[in-house]
Amino acid sequence: MKGEIAVMGIVLCVLFAGCVQQPEDETIKIGALLPLTGEVMIWGENTKNGMELALEEINKEGINGKEIEIIYEDSQCSPSKTSTSIQKLISVDRVNVVIGEICSSATLAAAPIAESNQVVLISPGSAADSISEAGDFIFRNYPKNMQITESVIEVLDNLGRNRIAIMYVNNDYGISLKENAEKIFAGEIAIAEAHDQKATDFRTTLAKVKEQNVDAVFLATYYTDGALILKQAKELNLDVLFVGPDVFDDPEVVKIAGNAADGIIFSTVKPGAGPAFTEFSSKYKNKYNKEPGFLADFGFDALNVIAEAMRQGNFEGEEIKNFLYDLKDYPGASNTITFDSKGDVANSALVIKTIKNGEIVLYEAD
């Protein structure tokens, strides 16, 4: 018994010792909630790389002579772990700004805690539409699903396709794209089929789609499953127009699908050719020796707009919140950022792209 009590005593002591030790604030602390381990750690890693790159530049000059310090918490894309992590960031580290989470469910769990403590939460990667209503202090510089869907549907309308099929990944992301499409598409949705995020064989679903004789297929998927679908559709001689969201704006798609990727039309936010992105991209390559991965530019921008707020003397949650609502056309790497009244990026400059001969190019209607 004594041994056990001693063990628990030590655990508690370490806990409180950690809490009590609070040096004078020589740095400006910013919290980060990212999935650094687990299934989607690659997104957390990419975002973190983007943030670290931004941090390096910001700290060269500093803000009022102080450096920014990012406190990373591994929230593992889990709602309950995220709630603990943000509670710790707010009450122990006393941050006024938290960047994160990537997963929509985790962001939604963190939102009420941020809101009630008047801490700004800015998500660089959550797309769920319900985040718009999560609170005044909740922002995101990632476009919400509705915007992407609208632009994809517009492409279909312009091409006069009025009988489509939807293949969607069965999670919040896929369902939200599918439901949006059902809401705004004027034509007929002949068939909507779900698949698991880890699925690799889509032949059965594709056979069903083929039977329906549709004009187009909307892929509400990620890039791996989406690319596999393109590849298997070609094998099944399913010759139909594929459209999709921004996830297809990734060279990996061509690597997986080969020439089957040709012809897909998708809507995406990356300006690609924009000067801010080119600059970011070359700095990123210098530092990490690889192309910026998915979300790296969003992490980079999220930290940069916060730093911008602080350079202009806004340090409290309330002040940063007001600054963000007033921000106009900030030239970010991912996008030109203006927040609307819900904290979403207003009219993200979306562009339509396609894949031609294995190259991602801007789409031009013939």
Partner 1 sequence: MIEAYILHLLILICIYAILAMSLNLITGYAGMLNLGHAAFFAIGAYTSTLLVMAGFPFWFAFLAAAGMAALFGVLLSIPALRLRGDFLAIATLGFGEIIRSILLNWTELTRGPLGIPGIPKPELFGFEFGALHWYFVLAFAVTVATYFILRKILAGNFGIVLKAIRESEPVSESLGKNVKLVKIQAFALGACFAGLAGSLFAHYITFIDPSSFTLAETILILLMVTLGGMSSLKGSIAGAIILILLPEPLRFIGLPSAMVGQLRQIIYAGLLLALILKRPKGLFGEKWFKGIVSEG
Q: Which residues bind partner 1 (CB under 8 A)?
A: 3-4, 7-8, 11-12, 14-15, 17-19, 21, 36-37, 41, 44, 48, 52, 70, 72-74, 77-80, 83-84, 87-88, 90-92, 94, 104-105, 108-109, 111-112, 117, 128, 130, 133-134, 170-172, 175-176
| Rounded least distance, CB 119 to partner 1, Å | 11
Nearest-approach distance from CB 362 to partner 1, in angstroms:
33
The nearer residue to partner 1, 47 or 336, going by C-beta atoms, is 47
Tell me the C-alpha distance between 37 and 76, whole Å: 6
Joined tokens for residue 197:
């995020």
* Least distance between partner 1 and beta carbon 358 (Å): 33
CB nearer to partner 1: pick between 8 and 361: 8
Smallest distance from partner 1 to CB 4, Å: 5
Whole-angstrom CA distances from 302 to 10, 87, 95, 105, 222 are: 39, 20, 15, 19, 23
Question: What DSSP string runs through 147-187?
Answer: HHHHHHHHHHHHTT--EEEEEEESSHHHHHHHHHHHHH--S
What does the DSSP 8-state code read for residue 144?
P
Q: Which is nearer to partner 1, 178 or 270 (by Cβ)?
A: 178
Q: How far is the CB of 274 from partner 1 (least distance, A)?
A: 29
Closer by beta carbon to partner 1, 105 or else 338: 105
- 201 is written with which tokens? 């064989």
Q: Which is nearer to partner 1, 21 or 357 (CB)?
A: 21
The least distance separating partner 1 from the CB of residue 326, rounded to whole angstroms, comes to 27
Q: Which is nearer to partner 1, 138 or 214 (CB)?
A: 138
Q: Does an H or E element contain 17, and which?
A: helix 2-20
Contact 203, 236 (CB under 8 A): yes
Q: Of 46, 108, 102, 48, give the one whose Cα is nearest residue 75.
A: 102
Which of 244, 273, 271 minimizes the C-alpha distance to 348? 271
